[in-house]
Structure 1
Amino acid sequence: MEEDIKTKIKNYKTAPFDSPFPNQKQSRNCWQNYLDFHLCKKAVTTKEGDVSVCECYWRVCKSLCPMSWVTAWDQRRAEGMFPGKV
């Protein structure tokens, strides 16, 4: 199972179809994947697991989000002023 996930991540090209965001601008999908990546990373780190399972969220985020947004969100998280629940 784990090798199957790693193979999918390695062959990943762009964001796959996401049914909650079928006909919308992808900015909400971008935001959700950014949050999911950090929530997954936090949960896996707490359980002392392998953080690479969260990489799929990061790849979708990187594919959909302008990097200026990600940089700004990272700065706000570091300052403790991030509006999302991470």
Structure 2
Amino acid sequence: MADTIEEKIKNYRTAPFDARFPNVNQTKNCFQNYLDFHRCNKALSDKGMETAPCDWYQRVYKSLCPMSWVEKWDGQIEDGNFPGKI
């Protein structure tokens, strides 16, 4: 299974279709993948596991989200006032 994840990450070009977000507006998709990345990192690092599978979410949100949003959210996480549940 790890080989397929690493292969998918290696061959990654842009965010694939996600049936949860069928509309043209991908704002929710962007935010959800940002949350999924941080949740994945937190869950795996708390268990002492490698966080490489979380790279997929990071690549997706980086291809969908404007970097100004990501910088704002990162700042909010550091300040402790991020609106999402991680």
TM-score tier by shorter-chain length is over 0.9
Alignment of structure 1 residues 3-82 onto 2, 5 Å: 3-82=3-82
Task: Output the amino acid matched with 1:54.
Answer: C
Cα distance, 1:24 vs. partner?
A: 4.0
Distance 1:44 1:24 in 2: 32
Structure 1 residue 4 displacement after superposition: 1.1
CA–CA distance in structure 2, aligned partners of residues 24 and 37 of structure 1: 22
SS in 1 for 2:70: helix
What code does the residue aligned with 1:73 have?
A: W
**SS in structure 2 opposite 1:13?**
coil
Q: Find the aligned partners of 1:33 and 1:54 in 2 and give their Cα distance.
A: 10
Indicate whether 1:83 and 2:83 are aligned.
Answer: yes
Specify the code of the residue in structure 1 equivalent to 2:12.
Y
Structure 1: gaps spanning 5 or more residues: none
SS at match of 1:59: helix
Amino acid at match of 1:22: P
Q: Percent identity?
A: 57
Which runs of 4 or more aligned residues in structure 1 lie more than 6 Å from their structure 2 counterparts after TM superposition?
none
Deviation (angstroms), 1:28:
0.5
**Distance apart, 1:23 and its partner CA:** 1.5
